[in-house]
Amino acid sequence: METPSIDYMNPLIQEKVQELRNKSSDDLNYIEQSYLFVRDEIPHSWDIGTTTVSRTASEALKNKTGICWAKSCLLAALLRANGIPSGISYQLLTIAEDDSEGHIIHALNTVYVKDSKKWIRLDARGNAGNLNTKFSLDKDQLAFQVSEEFGEIDYKDNNVDLDERLINALAKTDNLFEINIDFDF
């Protein structure tokens, strides 16, 4: 299902889908190739210090950057365009090492693997510093482990589109470092 944020019919997305299809041996390999592309070739905006705001899957691809919200839309778009069910899942995480600076929402993907007849979660946020996400069919290899003692939550949900509050936060800024993240989730 195409959504405003997961705009997989966009010509840029379709071109990338064809490129990934051409170098993939089957659906599972296509999932992994798509994941690795988004994780490794679309840098997380915070990691590279850009103020550029990518609001949709196609913008993340065009801008060659995005925060986890946009990167998760891009991965979902690449998968859905190839007939692979994919959604978005969230974690509520602390901004600092404890809850002294509040919380932020992290987005990752859910993917249905037909051959295994199961949903898996993939985190294409990007590896930086001590973050080490991996492709795995067996267990979550996510960027962040939840610390419940600081009010962090792993929702383990599966949403068809980016949450409306996140869409609105992205829409209201032209500078990523000025994004308003002060809302309850």
pLDDT in tens, 84-99: 999 999 999 999 988 9
Dihedrals phi, psi of 111, to nearest 5 degrees: -140, 130
pLDDT of residue 12 exceeding 80: yes
Go through the domains of the chain in sequence order and give each one's CATH number. Answer: 11-178 (3.10.620)
CA–CA distance from 90 to each of 23, 64, 134 (Å)? 30, 22, 17
| Rounded alpha-carbon distances, angstroms, from residue 56 to 4, 38, 69, 110 | 7, 13, 9, 17
pLDDT reading at 14 higher than 80: yes
Contact 156, 89 (CB under 8 A): yes
Q: Is 115 left (phi over 0), alpha (psi -120 to 50) or beta?
A: alpha
Single pTM value for the model? 0.97
pLDDT tier for residue 180 given thresholds of 50, 70 and 90 = confident
* Centroid of chain to Cα 99: 23
125-176 pLDDT, tens per residue?
A: 999 989 999 999 999 999 999 999 999 999 999 999 999 999 999 999 999 9
